[in-house]
Every structure is written in C-alpha cells, then in structure tokens.
Amino acid sequence: MYIHVVKQGDTLWELSRRWGATVPAIASANGINEAESLVIGQSLIIPIRMTEHRVRYGESLWSIAQLYGLTLADLIAANRLGNPALIQPGQIIQLPAASKPVIEVNAYTQKFGEPGVQLIHQAGPALTYLSPFSYRVQGDGSMIGLDETDLIAAAYGQRAAPMMVISNFEDGTFSPDIAHALLTDSNARQRLIGGILSIMQQKGYKALNVDFEYVPPADRELYNQFLEQLVASLRPRGYLVSTCLAPKLSFDQAGTLYEAHDYAAHGRIVDFVILMTYEWGWSGGPPLAVAPLNEVVKVLNYALSVIPARKVIMGMPLYGYDWTLPYVKGNEWAPTVSPVAALETARVYGGEIMYDNEAQSPYFYYYDRQGREHVVWFEDARSVQAKLSIVKSYKLRGISYWVLGVPFTQNWTVLMENFTVKKFELSSE
C-alpha cells in the first residue's frame, strides 16, 4: 500500500499507468467513483506492493514510513541505518514487507434495524466487538433498553463479539445527577448489576462497556468500587468488562469530565479501557482537528504510565466537522461531515486540501454560495495511517471507532493493510 497525495493534473487513469495498479483497484481501495474528478491535496491509497523508495527533497524516514504503512523501526532495520536522520535525496530505501500485528477493534453503532444490520455486514470482517449505544442507566438502577436483537445476530454472523454499553446519557448529554444517584445507593447498584447480567445472558452479549461521563468528582472512589462490584459479578461468568475514559494528561487534571476517571484504578480493575481520544475539535467549539495526533500522543503517554498497553484501546473518529467562519462561541454549531462528504464539498466549491503535519490531519477552506467562509477538518488515509502507526509503536491492545454509519472506505482499507483483527470463537449458548 502506498498513499499518494493528488497534485494538479492527476487523474485515476494517469495514476494507474504511473503505479501499475488498475483504475478499478484504486477506486475500490478508496471507495470512489472511477469517473469522478480528483481534488488537489486529496489522499489516495494505491494498492500495490513496493519494494524500494527513492528519497525526495523534504522527506524524512518517518514520512516515508507513513506513505507505506510501515513503522520507523521497520525501515531502520531493513536498511541498517546508523543515523536515520541522515538520509539524502536520491537515496534508495528498501521497503520490507509490513508486519501485521493482531489487535482488537471495537465500533459503536447508533443505527438499528435493517440499516444497522447492513453496517455490520460491511464492517463486520474488521471488528472484534460491536457496541450498540446504549442502555441508559437510571438513578434507581433500572435501565432504558434497546431493540438490538437483530444487531447482535448480525454481529455473531461476522464473529464480532457484541458488547453491551451502559451510560448515564439522558436528553442529549451525560447526566452527573444520574451517576451520583446510582453510585451513592448500594441497592441501586445491585439492581443495575442484576439487570446487566440478565440482559447479557438473555441476549448473548460477551462483554460490557461502561460509559459514565461527567461523574461528580466527589464520587470517584464510589465509581471505582462500583467497577470492582461489576467485575466480581461478571468475570467469573466469562464476561469481559471495559470502561470509557476521558482524554486526561495527569491524575489531577481539573474538570468534571476528568476528575472521577481514575486511570490507574480502571487499569487495575477492568479488562481494558477505551480512551476517548477525539473531540478536540467539536461541534460547538473552535475549528480544530477532531483527533490531532500530537494531543492524542500526550494522552497515551499518561495512560501508559499507569495502565499496561495490553489493556489500552485508542479511540478513533470516523468523521469531521464543517465550521462557518469567523467562529463565534455560542453561534451555529458545526455540522458533522463524513470524509466522503468533505471531499465532495471540496470538489464542488474548489477547496484545496491541506495537511497539518503536527496534528496529522487534513483540512481545507471554501466559500459557500452565500459568500460565507468555511473550514473543514476531517480524516483521510494519511491521518488514519498516522494513528495506526502509533498503535503499532505503542503496542496497544487495539482501537475503537466512533461511530459506524459514516462512509469512509479508506479507513477500513488502511486498517486491514496494517493489522490482523482478532476474532473470537463465538457461541450463543
């Protein structure tokens, strides 16, 4: 696999001649129409096996590794480089066959019924877990349920283990009041645990994911104790337990989103954690990359100081946002856009895609038909490859996607080129 950045005059036909890959193969790897025009700055996966690379001006060994889905260590070892910083334009770099570590892959879904089933059929081969979002916990330990039986059946058909998600989500946000009422009432906690066990046994869930957000900071220890109770009840029955963690940089990071999420305790108690490493750029905030790699790495560095890498799953977004400029706090929120929709917008309005090397994320500006300026931050093959390279180098347990239903063929192509996805031998009994 090679990632090509489109330049003026590039066409699929010309690229197929240059690289020796067919037009249908390039179109399929990228999920695009063979007849559509390309956008300057667009990234394209070229599905070929390269054995060497001639260094160009401005390239580093790290940037070359990104182009081919390799790690820096792979290239250094294959070329016996004493000082990797001292490569020269024109130098030939040997490209080893990329190794494919085994990882676990989770994806959340908010699509139910036939649309949700179709999404599982499409993404299922790349999933270890399928997580319907979500059973909504109430303060008395009861739950507002889901009609997800058909999703679970589809997940079994793809050998993707269904993971039950419980949350304190209510009326479009996460409720600290629900979390507090539950955690401070021992009877409510026992009622909830009993309800979880009943649903998991009845519906065939294999794992549990606890997504409690904005838990009052004073309830941190109660939250930890609740997780210990959950694990004591579920693990002897063969169920895995996981939690979602806000993206923290230190134990004492201030803010209701962070303070009750005790990384070290979760890492000790549960089977694995899912780091919510996205939403730096969010719908109501100023324009930023959704998951800037420089910020994601800071979170990982803290997480790995207190949690074993084998228990860490890194969150990845499948979406971006389109902000109207100038950004004014409290004004119209930015709509979510898929990478496919972002490219179409750039194509229609003449946007040229740029790439932020620090954030490892693409973006572009355009003017709409009313003359308003916009900026769009989204994901592409390059940003996905950069994140997956970090997963490799940090030897993480895996990745977790928010959320299925966002068209992004490149993501799945890059994922399967980099990793072998772990599958469980599933039985509904």
Residues taking part in catalysis: 213
Please give the structure tokens belonging to residue 223. Answer: 């939250």
Q: Are 322 and 273 in contact (CB under 8 A)?
A: no
Burial class (CB in 10 A: 0-12, 13-18, 19+), 65: buried
Nearest Cα residue to 183 out of 145, 230, 233, 144: 230
Pairing between strand 320-324 and 336-337? antiparallel
How far are the Cα atoms of 54, 73, 79, 91, 360 from residue 62, in angstroms, in the given order?
14, 9, 13, 15, 13
Q: DSSP letter at 103?
A: E
Please give the structure tokens belonging to residue 224. Answer: 């930890």
Nearest Cα residue to 341 out of 407, 424, 262, 273: 407
How far are the Cα atoms of 23, 247, 251, 312, 408 from residue 302, in angstroms, in the given order?
44, 9, 9, 12, 30
Could you list the beta-strand ranges (E) of 35-91: 43-46, 52-54
Residue 34 CA from chain centroid, whole number: 28
Q: Are 346 and 352 in contact (CB under 8 A)?
A: yes
How far are the Cα atoms of 3, 55, 83, 94 from residue 88, in angstroms, in the given order?
21, 7, 12, 14
Give the 3-state secondary structure of residue 71.
Answer: coil
Q: Are 305 and 372 in contact (CB under 8 A)?
A: no
Residue 312 CA from chain centroid, whole number: 13
Residue 145 CA from chain centroid, whole number: 25
Using alpha carbons only, what angle is made at residue 172 by residues 170 and 176, rounded to the nearest 5 degrees?
45
Pairing between strand 143-144 and 135-137? antiparallel
